[in-house]
Amino acid sequence: MEQSTWEALPPEHREGLRRAVEAREGAYVPYSHFAVGAAVRTGSGAYVQGFNIENAAYPLSMCAERVALYRAYAEGERDFRALYVVADAPRPVPPCGACRQVMAELCPPTMPVILANLRGEVLLTTVEELLPFFFAPDDLLRQGERGALLGSGEGNGRGPSSEGGEVQFPETGAGSRGGGREGEA
Ligand code: THU
Please indicate whether residue 55, judged by its CB atom, sits closer than 6 Å to ligand 1.
Answer: no
Percent of the chain with pLDDT over 90: 76
Task: Report the nearest-CA residue for atom 10 of ligand 1.
Answer: 63
Q: Which atom of ligand 1 is nearest to the CA of 63?
A: 3
**DSSP tag of 28:** B
pLDDT band at residue 181, thresholds of 50, 70 and 90? very low
pLDDT band at residue 184, thresholds of 50, 70 and 90? very low
Q: Which atom of ligand 1 is nearest to the CA of 66?
A: 3
Known catalytic residues?
65
Please give the pLDDT value at position 145. 74
pLDDT in tens, 68-90: 999 999 999 999 999 999 999 99
Distance 62 CA to ligand 1 centre (A): 7
Helix count (H) and strand count (E) of the chain?
4, 6
pLDDT band at residue 147, thresholds of 50, 70 and 90? low
Q: What angle do CA 180, 181, 185 make, to 5 degrees?
A: 145
Please indicate whether residue 36, judged by its CB atom, sits closer than 6 Å to ligand 1.
Answer: yes
Please give the pLDDT value at position 151. 53
Please give the pLDDT value at position 142. 82
pTM of the model: 0.82
How much is the average pLDDT of 154-159? 53
pLDDT band at residue 107, thresholds of 50, 70 and 90? very high
Task: Report the nearest-CA residue for atom 5 of ligand 1.
Answer: 95
- Least trusted range by pLDDT, from 45-54, 66-75, 98-107, 148-157: 148-157
Q: Which atom of ligand 1 is nearest to the CA of 29?
A: 12
| CA atoms of 68 and 85, how far apart (whole Å) | 10
pLDDT in tens, 158-172: 544 444 445 555 444
Which is nearest to 78 in space by CA: 114, 46, 50? 46
Distance 160 CA to ligand 1 centre (A): 28
Distance 49 CA to ligand 1 centre (A): 15
- Least trusted range by pLDDT, from 47-56, 101-110, 161-170: 161-170
Please indicate whether residue 34, judged by its CB atom, sits closer than 6 Å to ligand 1.
Answer: yes
Q: Give the DSSP H or E segment for 134.
A: none
Given ligand 1 and candidates 24, 54, 55, 63, which is best to mutate, with the most ligand atoms within 8 Å of its CB?
A: 63
Please give the pLDDT value at position 156. 59
